[in-house]
Amino acid sequence: MLVNILNFKIKSFGLDISDRSLKLVQIEKRRKKNMLVSFGRIDVPPGIIKAGEIKEPEKLSLLIKKLIKNVEGKKISSPYVVACLPEEKTFSQVIILPKMTEREAKQAIRFEAEKYIPYSVEDVYLDCQKVIIENAQRDKIYVLLVALPKKIVDRCVKSLKLAGLKPISLEVESQSTVRAIFDQKKEKFPPSLILDIGATRTGFMIFSGTSLRFTTSIPVSSGSFTKSISKTLKIDFQKAEEMKIKYGISKRTKKAREVFEAIIPPLTDLTEQIKKYIDYYHTRAQKDPSFVDGIKIEKIFLTGGGAKMKGLKEYFQEEFGLPTYLADPLINVEVLGNFPKDQALEYANAIGLALRAAQENELY
């Protein structure tokens, strides 16, 4: 048993690394409340990260240093960090094992993994998490298996270390996102679809009960809408971005209709891909005994910077016939200082990572 004689606690923060930006959030526990005390964002030039793979660790490390130096709110004084790993490079699957101890399960996972993951076990890092499922078979345990290519993880760790940081935990984006947007005081949730609409892709996640059940990445994004507006209306990217934000999905004026018509191709593509994955999930869930805690999706939550586009929530609600909400990444935290609450959706992943960091801090 480890006795913490000096009552030493580390301080760590969350760092969201994506193709186009870095976002930082630090949360401190004060009187059992999660207080958001530090935040920051910096753009990542094209080419440094492509499709979740860090191509230039040295350049990324310089950006991380710059972000930490210019953070708003309380200054970052600790090198300890919880960072994310790209969803599009991650394989996850809930698997069923005979009832056994946690130690035995970890040993069994390596042998079972070969049956499920599309990589050689030698080329990936494996992680697992026990999944609590109501009405599950008593002689079985359910485990979420996660696998990531070693080269993806190693380049992330290299970038952090070059920036003078010490990673205490790495996790995939979907895990941190759901931690941020679901009330941690509740014990379980009905099957819910989370769409994380980012600059370069849309994350597709299904959360049910107490855990993630399915994740994938769709290569249609908020940036796809902007590119389509730029190409169709023959305007530069920045102007197209401004028009997307101003008009969104609207037909109220002539200009709004022009923007809407320009968005239709990528929006239709995104909608069809979402429907395909919903159908796949429902079909799989009906055949898989690990889905005894819920099959039919009941709600949709939108997060990410692209979720704020005018009319998008109403469009999805009509298309899918399900209650659709903008997620609330501040549901588990209180904000100090001048954190831009209107940008909270863009910080969802960073907030989830910071919540994990705050939990890790309490272990020391």
Q: Name the residue type at position 16.
A: D
Query: Which residues make Cβ contacts (< 8 Å) with residue 307, sequence separation at least 6?
Result: 195, 196, 197, 313, 326, 327, 345
On whether residue 3 sits in a domain, the answer given is no
pLDDT (tens place) for every residue of the chain, 364 residues total = 333 334 446 789 999 999 999 999 999 988 889 999 999 999 999 999 998 899 999 999 999 999 999 999 999 999 999 999 888 888 877 778 888 877 787 778 777 787 777 778 889 888 877 776 555 567 778 777 888 899 999 999 999 999 999 999 999 999 999 999 999 888 778 889 999 999 899 999 999 877 888 888 999 999 999 999 999 999 999 999 999 999 999 888 999 999 999 999 999 999 999 999 999 888 877 766 555 555 689 999 999 999 999 999 999 999 999 999 999 999 999 998 899 999 999 999 999 999 999 987 665 4
Same-domain status, 352 and 215: no
127, 209 Cβ separation under 8 angstroms: no
Q: What is the CATH number of the domain that holds 84?
A: 3.30.420.40
85 with 148: CB under 8 angstroms?
yes
- Residue 192: inside a domain, yes or no? no
In a domain, 177, yes or no: yes
Give the distance from CA 269 to its chain's centroid. Answer: 21
Instruction: Answer yes or no: are the C-beta atoms of 99 and 139 closer than 8 Å.
Output: yes
Residue 337 sits in the same domain as residue 307 = no
What is the percentage of the chain residues whose pLDDT exceeds 70?
A: 92
What range does the domain containing 321 cover? Answer: 202-326
Tell whether 285 and 179 lie within a shared domain. Answer: no
Q: Which tokens in the block code for residue 222?
A: 């908020």
Q: What CATH number has the domain bearing residue 97? A: 3.30.1490.300
How far is it, in rounded angstroms, from Cα 36 to Cα 29?
9
pLDDT 10s digits, 107-159: 787 777 877 777 788 898 888 777 765 555 677 787 778 888 999 999 999 99
**pTM of the predicted model, to two decimals?**
0.89
Count of domains forming the chain: 3
Query: Same structural domain for residues 291 and 247?
Result: yes
How do residues 271-294 score in pLDDT, each as one tens digit?
999 999 999 888 877 766 555 555
């730029």: which residue's tokens? 230
Q: Looking at the structure, do residues 229 and 139 belong to the same domain, yes or no?
A: no
Q: Would you say residue 195 lies in a domain?
A: no
Contacts of 237 (CB under 8 A, 6+ apart): 226, 227, 230
